[in-house]
Amino acid sequence: MPARSNCSDGDMSTQPKPGIYVPGGLQSAMSEARRRALFLDRDGVINVNHGYVHTIEQTEWVPGIFELCATARDAGYALVVVTNQAGIARGYYNESEFLDYTRWMHEEFAVRDAGILATIYCPHHPEAGLGALRIECGCRKPAPGMFTVARDLFNLALGDSLMVGDKESDLLAASGAGVPRGFLVDSSKPGSLGRVIEHLSRAANPMMKRDA
């Protein structure tokens, strides 16, 4: 059964926790071997950001995203989505609806040989959140909490990992967690993921000719 779990870095009893979706359950995703990850923001990197996307009908894939993820897997990267989900905090959709959508998204990647290890999401917002979700947390980017949770759960080598995001806050969060390199992309421009795919292709095939 897929897993939806909560974890936090530091004091588990006092800190707000990000949510976690793992298709095969947490146990299936754990590894004794240290591995590197490709962290992906969701809206603006995986799907075109039409604003609080949470249904199949709203979904428009960013061109090249399946190739990027398949290439990353070939290069030995585990794929982890790290996403702020203020739509949950604002009450635009609930967590169950978000998880149903996330399950479908994971299935779409899996059938294309680009399976995602996990989606980690922050359901909080410090100003617009409703009820208990209106809180300053350590997981909403640019805070690094989602990355450190992923590190601890999945034995990830953050110093060998990469981040792909569409906002500076994505890269700041990754850097704060110790991820040394990030790519800032703009999905409104054709071929926005091209240089990331090229970088990952070189990682998968070290003999590939490099630029002069």
Per the annotation, the verdict on 166 as an active-site residue is no
- Neighbour count for residue 160 (Cβ, 10 Å): 15
- C-alpha distance from residue 50 to each of 93, 105, 117, 121 (Å): 15, 16, 25, 18
- Amino acid letter for position 4: R
Of 9, 11, 41, 166, catalytic: 41
44: left (phi over 0), alpha (psi -120 to 50) or beta: left
Per the annotation, the verdict on 186 as an active-site residue is no
Look up residue 40 and give its two tokens.
């992906």
Helix (H, G, I), strand (E, B) or coil at 47: strand
How far apart, in whole angstroms, are the C-alpha atoms of residue 66 and residue 86?
25
CB-count burial class (<10 Å; 0-12, 13-18, 19+) for 170:
buried
Of 9, 43, 166, 170, catalytic: 43
How far apart, in whole angstroms, are the C-alpha atoms of residue 198 and residue 175?
22
- Neighbour count for residue 193 (Cβ, 10 Å): 22
Residues acting as catalytic residues: 41, 43
